[in-house]
């Protein structure tokens, strides 16, 4: 069977697009463990979650399901570019609903992996979606924490007031305001004078290394308040009990994956948990660069083999 196969997953609200990656010599009469993969904030399934980690997990013997979150990529939903953590976690439940109907997937051996903001979403999802038996967070970010800090200029209350006014304006017929997460070009990033390794890495990844028309790299400003009040790690000490692996690079940037990784590793109630710090790696090098990705996969594949 060819890799990948694009499918449409029905939900109570609209369809979600996903790519299925299959193991070598795939036989649809057999059953396989599966790993769902969740893309970064403002990204899509064709970037790192599918073409890097999904593909590698399939080559290691898993059925991998890389999906686009609602309002993003090829998935349905309007208005577009809404980054709502509650909806993101519900999307994960719907993808699990789909996975358990596949005759070649062992419903008792489904895990999940997420990158960047997707890494925070999957950690939150496994606390209450108990059909997921293991979780991996790759340079995962607690998007709520990021929104309360850098993404609102450390002024969450003031920004939420402005978001409310913008939403009112849109409800009265004005055009929506869409903000870029990433500078529009490498030149624009250089001209801004930023030295932040994450901003520069994001620009290089999305504007040069892995350009994709389906990647939003943006968010509708009027619908961002829900993210400010959300916390990916809430109740982790009680509810995050499944086997967990957290992978971070040791070159921290402004998006905060390093600090978030160490925090959730310390807080999670999981009896089986592993923290992998990839030396010399930045946030965006863990998306697609062979050496750091190879180090991550050297830990991820045995982890899922042992826990699914």
CATH of 5-151+225-307, one of 3.20.20.140, 3.40.50.300, 3.30.30.60, 3.40.50.1820: 3.40.50.1820
Residue 3 has pLDDT above 80, yes or no: no
Residue-wise pLDDT tens digits, 265-306: 999 999 999 999 999 999 999 999 999 999 999 999 999 999
Cis before 282 (ω within 30): no
Tokens of 267: 């807080």
Given a contact cutoff of 8 angstroms between Cβ atoms, the answer to whether 278 and 297 are in contact is: no
Tell me the DSSP string of 25-71: T--TTS-EEEEEEEPPTT--TTTTIIIIIIHHHHHTT-EEEEEPPTT
Q: Please tell me the predicted confidence (pLDDT) of residue 1.
A: 53
pLDDT averaged over the chain?
97
Read off the pLDDT of residues 122-155 as tens digits, 9 standing for 90 and up: 999 999 999 999 999 999 999 999 999 999 999 9
pLDDT-above-90 percentage for the chain: 98
Residue 88 has pLDDT above 60, yes or no: yes
Contact between 146 and 196 under an 8 Å Cβ cutoff? The reply is no
Q: Where are the domains of the chain?
A: 5-151+225-307
| CB hemisphere CA count around 283 (13 angstroms) | 28
């Amino acid at each position: 069977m060819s890799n990948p196969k694009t499918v449409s997953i029905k939900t109570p609200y609209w369809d979600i697009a996903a790519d299925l990656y299959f193991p070598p010599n795939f036989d649809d009469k057999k059953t396989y463990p599966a790993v769902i993969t969740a893309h970064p904030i403002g990204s899509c399934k064709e970037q790192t979650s599918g073409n890097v980690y999904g593909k590698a997990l399939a080559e290691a013997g898993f059925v991998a399901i890389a999906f686009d979150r609602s309002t993003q990529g090829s998935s349905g939903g309007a208005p577009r570019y809404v980054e709502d953590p509650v909806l993101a976690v519900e999307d994960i439940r719907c993808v699990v609903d789909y996975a358990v109907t596949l005759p070649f997937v062992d419903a008792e051996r489904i895990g999940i992996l997420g990158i960047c903001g997707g890494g925070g979403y999957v950690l939150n999802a496994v606390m209450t979606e108990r059909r997921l038996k293991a979780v991996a967070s790759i340079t995962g970010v607690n998007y709520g924490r990021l929104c309360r800090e850098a993404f609102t200029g450390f002024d969450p209350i003031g920004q939420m007031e402005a978001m409310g006014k913008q939403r009112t304006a849109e409800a009265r017929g004005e055009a929506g305001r869409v903000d870029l997460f990433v500078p529009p070009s490498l030149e624009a990033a250089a001209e801004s004078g930023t030295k932040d390794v994450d901003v520069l890495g994001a620009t290089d990844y999305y504007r040069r290394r892995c350009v994709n028309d389906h990647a939003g790299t943006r968010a509708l400003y009027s619908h961002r308040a829900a993210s400010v009040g959300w916390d990916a790690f809430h109740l982790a000490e009680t509810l995050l009990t499944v086997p967990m692996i957290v992978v971070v690079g040791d070159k921290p940037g402004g998006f905060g994956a390093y600090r978030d990784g160490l925090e959730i590793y310390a807080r999670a109630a999981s009896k089986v948990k592993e923290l992998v710090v990839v030396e010399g790696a930045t946030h965006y090098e863990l998306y697609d660069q062979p050496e750091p990705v190879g180090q991550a996969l050297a830990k991820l594949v045995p982890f899922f083999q042992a826990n699914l």
